[in-house]
Chains A and B, each alone.
Chain A
């Protein structure tokens, strides 16, 4: 009760509307509502439900000792861990040695492993990383010594190497008694190739941020000057720089005093400020280009084909620890180049790892970060772990139910995080029922489950739930969202229903997903006779169809690449239009029924690149270029897409399933797979994807694996090591129940029925076929309108109007009145206390706690009539965060 005062305080200013509504009721109600709804208002107002609920938890302690005993978490304000990176940091091997031993250096790693220097301007910097016995790494670049075997071939300035004459030699790097030899090859040592606009000058604009969307890369430019966003159009940029505004931006007569340079160095007022200093390499590049007449490249220049970022990873020991990065680009002509000074650095989590634009990481608070470098169209990153300084850590023996737990624990060991305890049976049965079937267990089910002593009772429950029809309905609903099943001017209501039925048939018959996708994407015929063709009716724009396919089935958003190369991913405009070309030959003609359209393969039609105007041959996204002659391109694509060896596809589906059960994808959001948003646990994602393929794309098997894992069954209660972890599934997350399920559950508990358009009375909200069918309740709680394929369509964020709707709206109160549950229970001869227990079991899947019971008894005693009091209690329980959240 320690928070009662604050609850009352909150009540005083937020509950005004409710008080008005309840005017004339007895005061006992108010007291009860204070106790039980204050928290509800809290979750809505704080807009951070997870923490709000965690804070309220002690106020309403549960029977579960693990959560009841824990102190309130005071870390709502602490910064959460950001997106995590791949565990590619070889140096960050998990170590569970006792903390007592003093760590000692075990090796040095030198990056890159060889140096190629070509042409007089080339250089290459090395990074030296010292690895310690406890897995920590330190940057030894400056303290290391560098001995070049043949100084006639190459020279060094610190850790940076420059060519002298053609030849090969090696550098011996020594630090802490370890030595590593790095071979050096120098070619064309005296060649001074002409400056290239695309390869030398444009990267300066990218590095300085000139061509970003918030600056001159905006569609209409900035302050009258436009550059192509992230430099997708070098020729256009050259024109705009040189000859667009004749005689303004550059002045070949006085290169150092022209507008471009003056703005860049801040010599004249510039909205973007001074971006280059006059003694920087970037400035020199710019002026060198101007001094030779600002030429454009006369022919194609070698394209960047790859980017490497060094070191491979880092585990930093405490705040302010630093690590320098080196970035190397590889070009199509086989050359490479140190682009550390030209790469744009980003971090996924700057509260753990700050990255300077010079490529220097500075560790901050404990956590992990994916630190990235962008150059040209490429983005690469490394995984950085920041530990508290000289952390003492030992890994307890934690049970592992299956491969999921093993892989999760591997990651947690690396982070020195201990997972929470396993949740109690009450929590489990509620969580698993909601997640698998979108229902809450009945009071009897809870009683039976709690009484069951079978050690396998959890997995048996899972198996039982998987066989229920509600499981199918839940996934039909999820797929309906992904396939945008909704009536539109193009898709008649009849077609919508047929489409929905088609989907339902597939899922209820447990059709493997790959088969379903092939049927869908390769569909031909009338939208009535073959409802799968509605996929091409719901969205008729070739480019949009391609975008949707990529987003839904591959989890990647390629929309950016329609107008410019993707800034944070590897997709270029070529990739985009080559992928879209698979859908360029979809034909549509009217059927006999005016509402029907017949979708067919035209066998002709191309997609043109908007900059070059050239038709783009179809190419799988990130894959090969098939021979499409004489074939239905969509069928080819479906064959490639829905294949067991297509990791993008299998992992994406696995991730969608995972996210459903954890409220968060291994890649999060699930449809935002990109280089700069790596999976928090790539090994796990890979394993799940592989399993999915192994199970022949059977959903149920994957769900079974997930629900049986210890990781799924963890408590929401945190321990000191995992309290700030949001990405690595070291404890369960509080998740607001999604709109349809919440409505269904309220209806289930209150024994009432809903009526939705086109469905019989009593149908559940998850069964709604048409995305356009909705209610105020569903809209308020963020039901997907299915207008787009974005995972963001389903809004899971709590907000004030949701809380107010539950409190004041017509749903909860009306349903309590309609269902007359209290009356029925009392009529069945149950005592008020039995009713209380029944209500608790229905709403919270648990018995009331002693403290709760004491308070309720007191209230009951004060109440003139038990029914009113029990209704108030029912109302309060339905408004409590413990009900609204899945935990």
Chain B
């Protein structure tokens, strides 16, 4: 209740804003009363909130003080219970209960209602089964609650309407200009529209109707209580139009794409046509009051006429300007299943369940042509854009084309075994069709199949062609809507005739976000861990490389040492060999020398004086001694050299060992580094992968995030719009009421003025009379 009526304060604000919007034509007294009314209304709604809404509605549907009227109370009962027989088409017993005038006229049994006296009202006595024939025939009585409403209505004088009732204002439908062959300058595109479905059901129903805008990438899909708008490029839902009248059975865009028309209703109960403005999403008008669902409808090129038909077997054509019935066509012997104005608006074609196809003059409803040929019910018909060729699809499996000169059949071909159910001419003059064989097809005008699309899940029920995107949209009995590309026949996606509520979408998006976030979290952590690992590895690797460098330097040094030591050793070995040679020489020479010396000595001794000899002896001796010294020196040196060599060799060995060790280490380090490098490469790759995953997860997360905020936004939008609409409706209603009140007062004023004038006139007359009397008196007196 709170939502329906709004809180007092919000209402108040609404009024304020509405007032501010400049409807200043209301007179002062109206404004003065306005707040009082508004407050009363608010208070009333508060009371309603306090009580149990259900019991308040049902315990007494008719408060005593409320006027029971035909329009508000009796008509809905008549429509639900009686209209199947007592309608303008059938008029059982000569009685039509669809309008007040006809009801009060009565039927062949005389008047049906005696205002003020239910018990003498023939209709009432039949309904209460006080008198035969009982009504409704063969049925049980209508519910007592409804009988009591009728009783109150008759007892209350059988009023037609509440005098104060504000008629809902219909918005004008602008006349369209231009032809169906040229793109309008401004192509109507839907604005931001609510995406909240009116109804979401466990399973979709049959796809009753599909339509595409002639100039915009826009698809309309019929669903129970709503029309869904999809973008034919993105295949995204772009709007939900409410159709609380029931099930839309037919959808048509006007030739300019400016208007969208839906015909439908409750099967066996009621039907009408609804028209929306595509560029605003506003419901412009409702046309017709059928007693069964509207099955077929169309709007003329200039928007001036709407034609509709259905199980009543009558084509009714209404003027959109005032909603008045222009004419009726009663030539169909069966349900009127399909209707279409020619694109140039000159002709009107209609087909029925008996296989009858007729073309009428659109302006007058006069017969123009009759097409004979189909042997079973007509399911659909479509005009070529030049209005010279009509195509019909029939249950007899054929599609036939007809020319408009004589109504002759041009082509006929078995298009869909079991029955063709739907077809449409596209701008190129090709035909797209659907049928019971589940195979949507495209044909040229000669009936040659150009393309056949993938089989649908069940019997094909509807088809449409989007000229803007060259796509074929096909629906089936199970509620699947597939979109195909004409060019390659590819299945591009599907449209749901049963979209989910925004709250469900939001919940799902939130769930996805949570999941994405949950998926993203460990990914990020793992990424960081791997990153760190890699960093550590890189550090280790760098150290290892440095270490290896220094190890290599050390090895080089050692090698140098070894080389030096080996050189030394070589020197030593060389020295030793030289020295050993010298020693060996000396050792060999010494006995000779000794011998010589001894001989010299001996000789010298022998020749002591021989200085020379002496000198020679001395020399020799010196030489010997020198040699001996040298030998000793050599021996020593040799000994030293051996030692030295040993030492050197030891050193060399030590250094060699060290070198070998160092070399081993270096090898190790090299291997380690190679492994690490490999590891690093692996890590690197993994990390890169991880990074991609992470980026993906992030993308998902942000998409989910976006979805969440989108659905949140849409929900807010819907709620806001709803609120606004409620406010607007309330405001409009109040304006209406005030205006009615104003009119009443003006009338009253006029009446009073009239009375005043009359009174004045009477006074004037009286005065004149008095004067004349006085005159006569005076004359009399004068005479006297």
A: residues with CB less than 8 A from B are: 224, 242-243, 246-248, 251-254, 257-259, 262-263, 266-274, 291, 293
Contact = CB atoms under 8 A, between A and B. Distances in A.
B213 interface: no
B311 interface: yes
B268 interface: yes
A273 B201 contact: no
Contacts of A291: 202
Given A246-B421, A274-B140, A263 B479 contact: no
Contact of A253 (B137, B201, B335): B201
A267 B143 CA distance: 11
B38 interface: no
B84 to A, nearest CB: 3
Interface in B310-339: 311, 335
Contact of A243 (B83, B84, B208, B459): B459
Interface in B381-436: 421, 436
A243 B435 CA distance: 12
Contacts of A263: 268
A653 B136 CA distance: 50
B138 A272 contact: yes
A716 B202 CA distance: 72
A254 B205 contact: yes
B203 interface: yes
B224 interface: yes
Given A246-B421, A274-B139, A269 B84 contact: yes
21 contacts: A243-B458, A246-B208, A246-B421, A246-B477, A247-B207, A247-B461, A248-B293, A251-B206, A251-B224, A251-B247, A252-B206, A252-B478, A252-B479, A253-B498, A254-B224, A258-B267, A262-B266, A262-B267, A268-B268, A269-B83, A269-B136
A273 B202 CA distance: 30
A226 to B, nearest CB: 13
B223 interface: yes
A268 B269 contact: yes
B139 A262 contact: no
Contacts of A246: 206, 208, 421, 459, 461, 477
B204 interface: yes
B181 to A, nearest CB: 32
A209 B421 CA distance: 32
B266 A268 contact: yes
Contacts of A272: 138
B348 interface: no
A203 B715 CA distance: 47
B660 to A, nearest CB: 84
A47 B224 CA distance: 61
Given A247-B208, A258-B267, A259-B268, A252 B203 contact: yes
Interface string B207-223: 11000000000000001
Top 10 nearest A-B pairs (CB, nearest first) are A253-B205, A269-B84, A273-B139, A259-B267, A268-B268, A268-B269, A247-B206, A253-B201, A273-B138, A247-B208
B81 interface: yes
A548 B353 CA distance: 40
Given A252-B203, A258-B267, A274-B139, A224 B311 contact: yes
B201 to A, nearest CB: 4
Contacts of B85: 269
Interface of B: 80-85, 136-140, 199, 201-208, 223-224, 247, 249, 266-269, 291, 293, 311, 335, 353, 421, 436, 458-459, 461, 477-479, 498
Nearest to A269: B84
Contacts of A259: 267-268
Most chain B CB inside 10 Å of its own CB: which residue of A252, A268, A270, A271: A268
A274 B311 CA distance: 21
Contact of B203 (A253, A257, A266): A253
A273 B85 CA distance: 13
Given A251-B247, A252-B204, A269-B269, 5 more contacts: A243-B477, A247-B207, A247-B208, A247-B461, A268-B267
A257 B223 CA distance: 14
B373 to A, nearest CB: 22
Contact of B140 (A258, A262, A266, A268): A266
A258 B247 CA distance: 10
A248 B477 CA distance: 11
Given A243-B477, A251-B224, A253-B498, A268 B80 contact: yes
A259 B224 CA distance: 13
A576 to B, nearest CB: 29
B266 A252 contact: no
A257 B207 CA distance: 16
Most chain B CB inside 10 Å of its own CB: which residue of A247, A257, A291: A247
Contacts of B498: 253
Contacts of A262: 266-269
A273 B81 CA distance: 10
A247 B249 contact: yes
A756 to B, nearest CB: 52
B232 to A, nearest CB: 23
A140 to B, nearest CB: 32
A583 B172 CA distance: 74
Given A269-B80, A270-B268, A253 B140 contact: no
Contacts of B479: 252-253
A248 B267 contact: yes
A273 B137 CA distance: 8
B224 A253 contact: yes
A242 B208 CA distance: 14
B134 to A, nearest CB: 11
Contacts of B201: 253-254
Most chain A CB inside 10 Å of its own CB: which residue of B201, B207, B436, B479: B201
Contacts of B249: 247
A242 B36 CA distance: 56
A837 B205 CA distance: 89
Contacts of B477: 242-243, 246-247
A552 to B, nearest CB: 40
Contacts of A243: 436, 458-459, 477
A246 B85 CA distance: 25
A274 B136 CA distance: 10
Contact of A252 (B137, B140, B205, B311): B205
Contacts of A254: 199, 201, 205, 224
B359 to A, nearest CB: 25
A283 to B, nearest CB: 15
B83 to A, nearest CB: 6
Given A224-B335, A252-B206, A254-B199, A266 B268 contact: no
Contact of B139 (A257, A266, A293): A266
Contacts of A269: 80-85, 136, 268-269, 291
Nearest to A243: B459
Nearest to A259: B267
Contacts of B478: 252
A252 B204 CA distance: 7
Nearest to A262: B268
Nearest to A244: B395
A251 B247 CA distance: 10
Contacts of A253: 199, 201, 203-205, 223-224, 479, 498
A247 B205 contact: yes
B225 to A, nearest CB: 8
Contacts of A267: 269
A273 B459 CA distance: 32
Contacts of B421: 246
Contacts of B139: 266, 270, 273-274
Contacts of A268: 80, 84, 266-269
A236 to B, nearest CB: 14
A123 to B, nearest CB: 27
Contacts of A270: 84, 139, 268
A258 B246 CA distance: 10
A274 B139 CA distance: 6
B136 A273 contact: yes
